[in-house]
Amino acid sequence: MEYGNKSEHTRTKCIKCGDCCRKNSPALHQADLALITGKRLERKNLLLFRRGEPAMDNVMGSPVLLAGEMIKIKSATAGHVGCVFLDQQSNHCNIYGYRPMECSILECWNPEPLINCYQKNRLTRADIFPRGSAMDELISIHEEKCPVTELYSMLQQETNAPGTAREDINRLLAFDDSFRQNFQEKTGAHEEDILFYFGRPLKDLIRPLMDFMKLNPDGNA
């Protein structure tokens, strides 16, 4: 069942089966900003997907290359798509009283409310770090120098003509690595925070990008 498929459910209220929470975790929207500024949601429980990364579309039920960035609640374990806040034994949400907007409007028997807002007003780093702040500027520099979309284009080129983009890919990965390392050395930031500021290292995106490319040979970043 994808969130967009209502044919499988005839119920009219939530029975707290936990099925939705096991399928995927919610993306955050601007309406959820207070959960972060009020420290209800900590960075260690969030995952940043940058523009151009492959990510599961909860409505379509298939991976897409993101047209804009997305901040999500993390999955329970690596390779698991369920939400980290779902108690696997009781099916209870551990943050039910302040769950994100997508969770509060989701009705598995009626996906329309989620479909209507799913792509709209996604929370981004620009909502969290004030414009002109040091972090905002560093994020802009990193996005300009290390765009995921460029890595994807290079991987496509290398796949189509082996050897033609290898050096450029290595240069891009090296810049991304040194950027993160310099930031860590200068600020002493924890790895979890660095992942939230700059997303996953480009070298860790090669596999998911290649997997996406194989499944979608015509897909564009």
Shortest distance in whole angstroms from residue 72 CB to ligand SF4:
10
SS3 112: helix
Angle, alpha carbons 93-44-123 (nearest 5°): 80
Residue 93: how many other CB atoms lie within 10 Å: 17
61 and 85 in contact (C-beta within 8 Å)? no
Q: Cα–Cα distance between 41 and 188 in angstroms, integer? A: 22
**Beta carbon of residue 47, minimum distance to ligand SF4 (angstroms, whole number):** 13
Report whether 111 contacts 59 (CB < 8 A).
yes
- Cβ proximity to ligand SF4: between 95 and 108 the closer is 95
Stretch that binds ligand SF4, among 95-103, 159-167, 168-176, 195-203 (CB under 6 A): 95-103
Q: Of residues 153-192, which lie at the interface with ligand SF4 (CB under 6 A)?
A: none
58 binds ligand SF4 (CB under 6 A): no
Please report, for the chain, how many H helices and E strands are present, in that order. Answer: 10, 4
Q: Is 99 in the site for ligand SF4 (CB under 6 A)?
A: yes
Q: Which of 46, 103, 139, 155 binds ligand SF4 (CB under 6 A)?
A: 103
Does residue number 83 form part of the binding site for ligand SF4 (CB under 6 A)? yes
C-beta of 212: minimal distance to ligand SF4 in Å? 24
Q: Please, which residue, 85 or 212, has the CB nearer to ligand SF4?
A: 85
- From the list 176, 209, 169, the residue with the least C-alpha distance to 195 is 176
State the DSSP string of 97-140: GG--HHHHH--TT--HHHHHHTTSSB--HHHHSPTTSHHHHHHH
Binding range to ligand SF4, per CB under 6 A, among 52-60, 99-107, 112-120, 203-211: 99-107
To ligand SF4, the closest distance from the beta carbon of 70 in angstroms equals 15
Quick check: 179 and 145 in contact, CB under 8 A? Answer: yes
31 binds ligand SF4 (CB under 6 A): no
Residues interacting with ligand SF4, by CB under 6 A? 21, 25-26, 73, 83, 85-86, 93, 95, 99-100, 103
